[in-house]
Structure 1
């Protein structure tokens, strides 16, 4: 169970960091710092890649019959991942809109 909890917290951590980088990227684009925004999106992507590795481990454990406990912590971790990915996708779109607005002036 401890390993399962550690993995859940790792999923939360990487998802939260990815989401935070995405929000920082939006703020950078707002200031017309598009290179910085792209760097932050790359950092966000790396965090979500790590989160996906953890998620894959959890799914593999369940498929192997080793994880039969569905905990609120795991549900919370999955929620962090999904909302974080949504924020990142929206950040990418917002940054593109900001670029278009800047270039059209």
Structure 2
């Protein structure tokens, strides 16, 4: 995997993770308003984004596992940071939404 390919995958991960984060914030706002069907739809959409980000990440991991040299640069580190914080954010937002459901 060359550096350009890795950079493109990195930006893909950042994009999907950021989109998921935005959808989760909107879901929380909908929960505050008592609009739980819209909230649930946004959570489902966020989960799809996170799956897409994870799949892009797996492409890199599979390339490395298959013996390809994968030069990790700052952009990939940034992408990993975005993905991991979005996954954590999903858990936190889920707990907050549960409070509004009660």
Give the TM-score category using the shorter length: over 0.9
- Counterpart in 2 of 1:49? 51
Q: How many residues align?
A: 100
The alignment's TM-score, normalised by the length of structure 1, stands at 0.91
Is 1:15 the counterpart of 2:27 in the alignment?
no
Q: Distance in 2 between matches of 1:91 and 1:38?
A: 12
Alignment RMSD: 0.9
The match for 1:80 among 82, 85, 97 is: 82
Match of 1:33 in 2: 35
Task: Please state how far the C-alpha of 1:82 moved relative to its aligned partner.
Answer: 0.3
Cα distance per residue 1:35-77 (max 9 Å; x no partner): 1110100000000010010011011111122233120100000
Larger gyration radius, structure 1 or structure 2? 1
Return 5+ residue gaps in structure 2 as ranges: none
What TM-score, normalized to structure 2?
0.93
Gaps of 5+ in 1: 101-105
Off by >6 Å, runs of 4+ in structure 1: none
